[in-house]
């Protein structure tokens, strides 16, 4: 960069996207009105009402006779395309032979209108022979009923250290304690449900999908449909939330794409909210067993985590267990650490990535264990954490499970958040309420966390920057926004490098014909990989322009300078020779003034932070209310603090929701009990305080921006802090643990059980 000026980077720049979204509105899959989809038929799925059964027959004759019905398609119509050859637990596009969860697609009804499809789908007769359902960790491990009989077990994989082994690792500990608890299943509940549209013309398939990465979706669709990737185009319009559950594309959207090739006209599909809650992938769903040991002066010497990961009916998310294991020890320097896991299938909705994907589970386990340890030795949980976090002089730090933490200062983050929260004053107020015997008790919960972002750093990300003859810029990015603010961020990077105003920058994403290479958005990777690619492409364009400007000015490249305030090239030390970007771009000719970069980082990054949650618990009803939440979330150098704060707010809300209210439930037969928003308790703004966000920036050297991921950090830090706060509020009554979600019923039951135990002990 030439010249001296204030940098736009690090500024609180308002989102450029919002004017369109708040005025004209977004264009989502259900809103598409493009010529290619003219006359599109509507897809309605026939879904299994039974968790586990053999399919003994499908009769669509009555449905086919209904007005507006174009076709009824089943797995038989797909033929060899329906399966996954060579997979031990294959997931068909449409179930044939057996269904494995309530909501599994069995057939597709294609109609002229959507409401015709809903009526006709009820007329498709499917004969089921019910089988015993496998629900819960114990049933899965017992192997009495198998989801895939040919495999001989419901266990998909085992990994890490052998479960139950390693008692010697606790030798020398004054205190050893353990517990088993769930990290419950939750639903992503994006504002925009899943949807897809497809058109088949001239031997080419175009798919519009609500996805987090068009290029991965293209690879998945072409692979399942045995098509050349060049024959498939995927376009991503606006996406109303993904949270990991829209990475790539799933069986429903692939079946929609195939249907377009079958019926000879475009097709569209948008699921209902009820379908979304039972058929879109869920998150979390682990049973965790922890053991922790240490000295009575607060030093943790050994920690072991054994867990079972429930993947639901099909092993889509088999990788989740390895991410939990990678982050087993969290932010702590513990001499002896072990982790082992089993991965199982059950007759429930499949489990896959959900905001944090394996890392929140690891943090929840270690933080709960640290709180248990602190309570056992009678030490303040903040002090136990301060004693055991990885010290700042140890970075890069290699954890016992092989993660290499790049940079951090965990003790400083803890001290910052405690000071901002007024921790001593909170403890004093808590003591006063306890002494008075108030009905409304105060709870203070802590967490210190570290997570891994851009774990797939080796795949990199693409960024292309092109300056046009009118002086405007087009940025083509392999990253795929669904609320993150990429148009703003990438325009900031261009303005910083080229001096071209953000308003003159257009960001293009999510079209595989325009951007054939790309990886997309997940794992908090966008800025550190996609942003770095754009920054490098812009810098490359600037150097190309230097040579072109020199030709126009009759000077040497060394003599040319860019005025970053005005976006004008001039000869250094001379006046009168001013070249605007448009003129310089015109000098490039047919080759254009353009650079296309694939940026690959040398390693992942490891954001970190600390949270303090403050709750009030009504001891008569068990209701817990989050009244304050204070956080330090350090994601390295911040490009735009405003965007980072938005990501933090969303993550904190979702993490607090898991701690307080959210849980997907099934009955013993595999019937979902939370299939509507009347039953599934999503959190709302009325249950949340205004979050108090403390700034902290510890740059990384892994990428040129010094940035780490921020999209999932709030989720990872908030859940254990809020759970801890609820337990802390009633700990003086003898309560030692409450499973998540800490609903009024569970809190009241824990208080009652503690009271009964105390009464019996006093007899």
Largest CA distance in the chain: 100
142 phi and psi, to 5 degrees?
Answer: -70, -25
DSSP 530: I
Give the pLDDT of residue 164: 61
Give the pLDDT of residue 1: 45
Average pLDDT value for residue range 730-754: 98
Percentage of the chain with pLDDT > 90? 96
Q: How far is the CA of 84 from the CAs of 88, 215, 258, 525, 705, in angstroms?
A: 9, 20, 15, 29, 41
DSSP 554: T
Q: For the residues of 280-341, what is the DSSP string, one character each? A: S-BEEEEEEEEEEEE-TTS-EEEEEEEEEEE-TTS-TTTTHHHHHHHTTTTTB--SEEEEEE
| pLDDT tens digits, 186-208 | 999 999 999 999 999 999 999 99
| pLDDT tens digits, 501-518 | 999 999 999 999 999 999
Q: Rounded distance, CA 318 to CA 155, Å?
A: 11
Which residue's structure tokens are 């802590």?
A: 446
Average pLDDT value for residue range 350-367: 98
Looking only at the bridges linking them, the beta strands covering 560-563 and 568-571 are: antiparallel
Give pTM, 2 decimals.
0.97
| pLDDT tens digits, 561-589 | 999 889 999 999 887 789 999 999 999 99
Give the pLDDT of residue 78: 97
Q: How far is the CA of 352 from the CAs of 198, 299, 317, 633, in angstroms?
A: 25, 36, 4, 25
Could you tell me if 495 and 534 are in contact, meaning their C-beta atoms sit under 8 angstroms apart? no
Half-sphere exposure of 711 (CA within 13 A, CB side): 24
pLDDT band at 163 (very low <50, low <70, confident <90, very high): low
| pLDDT tens digits, 94-129 | 999 999 999 999 999 999 999 999 999 999 999 999
286 phi and psi, to 5 degrees?
Answer: -125, 150
Average pLDDT value for residue range 692-705: 98
Mean pLDDT value across the chain: 97
Indicate the SS3 state at residue 437. coil
| pLDDT tens digits, 521-555 | 999 999 999 999 999 999 999 999 999 999 999 99
Could you tell me if 641 and 10 are in contact, meaning their C-beta atoms sit under 8 angstroms apart? yes
Q: Rounded distance, CA 270 to CA 249, Å?
A: 14
The structure tokens listed for 734 are: 């003898």
DSSP 523: T
CB-CB neighbours of 673 under 10 Å: 11
Q: Rounded distance, CA 515 to CA 571, Å?
A: 36
Length of the chain: 763
Angle at 294 between CA 293 and CA 296, to 5 degrees: 130
Average pLDDT value for residue range 687-706: 98
| pLDDT tens digits, 259-296 | 999 999 999 999 999 999 999 999 999 999 999 999 99
| pLDDT tens digits, 714-736 | 999 999 999 999 999 999 999 99
Q: Rounded distance, CA 681 to CA 13, Å?
A: 34
The structure tokens listed for 589 are: 């000719």
DSSP H helices, 422-531, are 423-436, 486-498
Residue 474 has pLDDT above 90, yes or no: yes
Average pLDDT value for residue range 37-54: 98
Angle at 104 between CA 512 and CA 264, to 5 degrees: 50
Q: Which domains does the chain have, with CATH numbers?
A: 18-25+455-599 (3.30.365.10), 32-131+189-279 (3.90.1170.50), 132-187+281-389 (3.30.365.10), 406-450+606-763 (3.30.365.10)
Element holding 161 (H helix, E strand): none
Angle at 526 between CA 522 and CA 529, to 5 degrees: 120
Could you tell me if 29 and 37 are in contact, meaning their C-beta atoms sit under 8 angstroms apart? no
pLDDT band at 761 (very low <50, low <70, confident <90, very high): confident
Q: Rounded distance, CA 660 to CA 683, Å?
A: 9
Give the pLDDT of residue 5: 63
Exposed e or buried b per residue across 614-624, where buried means at least 16 C-beta atoms within 10 angstroms of its C-beta: bbbbbbeebbb
């Amino acid at each position: 960069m030439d010249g001296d000026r204030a940098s736009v980077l690090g500024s609180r720049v308002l989102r450029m996207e919002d004017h369109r979204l708040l005025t004209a509105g977004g264009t989502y899959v259900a809103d598409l009105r493009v010529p290619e989809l003219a006359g599109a038929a509507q897809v309605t799925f026939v879904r299994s009402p039974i968790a586990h059964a053999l399919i003994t027959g499908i009769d669509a004759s009555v449905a086919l006779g209904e007005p507006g019905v174009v076709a009824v398609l089943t797995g038989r119509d797909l033929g060899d395309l329906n399966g996954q050859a060579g997979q031990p637990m294959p997931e068909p596009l449409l179930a044939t032979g057996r269904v494995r969860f309530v909501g599994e697609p069995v057939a597709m009804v294609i109609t002229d209108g959507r409401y015709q499809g809903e009526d006709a789908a009820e007329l498709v007769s499917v004969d089921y022979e019910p089988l015993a359902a496998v629900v819960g960790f114990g049933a899965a491990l017992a192997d009495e009923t198998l989801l895939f009989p040919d495999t001989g077990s419901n266990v998909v994989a085992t990994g890490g250290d052998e479960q139950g082994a390693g008692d010697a690792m606790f030798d020398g500990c004054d205190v050893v304690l353990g517990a088993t608890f769930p990290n419950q299943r939750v639903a992503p509940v994006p504002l925009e449900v899943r949807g897809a549209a497809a058109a088949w013309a001239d031997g080419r398939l175009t798919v519009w999908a609500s996805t987090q990465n068009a290029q991965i979706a293209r690879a998945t669709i072409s692979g399942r449909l045995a098509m050349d990737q060049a024959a498939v185009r995927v376009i991503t319009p606006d996406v109303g939330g993904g949270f990991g559950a829209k990475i790539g594309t799933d069986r429903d959207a692939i079946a929609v794409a195939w249907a377009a090739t079958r019926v000879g006209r475009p097709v569209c599909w948008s699921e209902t909210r009820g379908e979304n809650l039972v058929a879109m992938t869920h998150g979390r769903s682990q049973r965790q067993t922890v053991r922790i040991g240490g000295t009575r002066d607060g030093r943790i010497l050994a920690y072991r985590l054994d867990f079972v990961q429930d993947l639901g009916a099909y092993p889509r998310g088999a990788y989740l267990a390895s991410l939990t294991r990678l982050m087993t020890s969290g932010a702590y320097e513990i001499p002896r650490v072990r982790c082992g896991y089993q991965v199982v299938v059950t007759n429930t909705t499949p489990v896959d990535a959900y905001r944090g994907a394996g890392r929140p589970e690891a943090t929840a386990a270690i933080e709960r264990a640290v709180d248990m340890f602190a309570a056992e030795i009678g030490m303040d949980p903040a002090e136990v954490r301060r004693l055991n976090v990885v010290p700042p002089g140890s970075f890069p730090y290699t954890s016992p499970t092989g993660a290499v933490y790049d940079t951090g200062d965990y003790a400083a983050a803890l001290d910052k958040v405690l000071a901002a929260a007024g921790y001593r004053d909170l403890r004093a107020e808590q003591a006063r309420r306890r002494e008075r015997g108030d009905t409304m008790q105060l709870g203070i919960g802590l967490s210190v966390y570290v997570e891994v972002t851009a774990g797939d750093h080796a795949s990199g990300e693409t960024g292309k920057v092109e300056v046009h003859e009118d002086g405007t810029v087009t940025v083509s990015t392999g990253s795929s926004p669904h609320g993150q603010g990429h148009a703003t961020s990438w325009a900031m990077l261009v303005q910083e490098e080229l001096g071209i105003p953000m308003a003159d920058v257009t960001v293009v994403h999510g079209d595989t014909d325009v951007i054939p290479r790309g990886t997309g958005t997940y794992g908090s990777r966008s800025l550190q990989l996609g942003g770095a690619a754009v920054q490098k492409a812009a810098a490359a364009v600037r150097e190309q322009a230097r040579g072109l400007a020199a030709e126009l000015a009759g000077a040497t490249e060394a003599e040319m300078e860019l005025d970053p305030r005005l976006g004008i090239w001039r000869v250094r030390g001379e006046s009168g020779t001013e070249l605007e970007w448009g003129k310089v771009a015109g000098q490039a000719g047919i080759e254009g003034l353009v650079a296309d970069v694939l940026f690959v980082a040398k390693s992942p990054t490891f954001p970190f932070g600390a949270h303090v949650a403050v709750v009030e618990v009504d001891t008569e009803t068990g209701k817990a209310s989050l009244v304050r939440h204070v956080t330090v979330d350090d994601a390295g150098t911040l490009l735009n603090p405003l965007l980072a704060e938005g990501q933090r707010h969303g993550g904190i809300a979702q993490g607090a929701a898991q701690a307080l209210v959210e849980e997907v439930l099934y009955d013993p037969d595999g019937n979902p009990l939370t299939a509507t928003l009347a039953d599934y308790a999503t959190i709302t703004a009325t249950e949340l305080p205004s979050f108090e966000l403390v700034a902290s920036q510890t740059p990384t050297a892994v990428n040129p921006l010094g940035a780490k991921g921020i999209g999932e950090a709030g989720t990872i830090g908030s859940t254990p802090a809020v759970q801890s706060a609820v337990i802390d509020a009633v700990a003086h009554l003898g309560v030692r643990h409450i499973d998540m979600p800490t609903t009024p019923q569970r809190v009241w039951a824990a208080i009652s059980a503690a009271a009964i135990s105390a009464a019996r002990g006093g007899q």
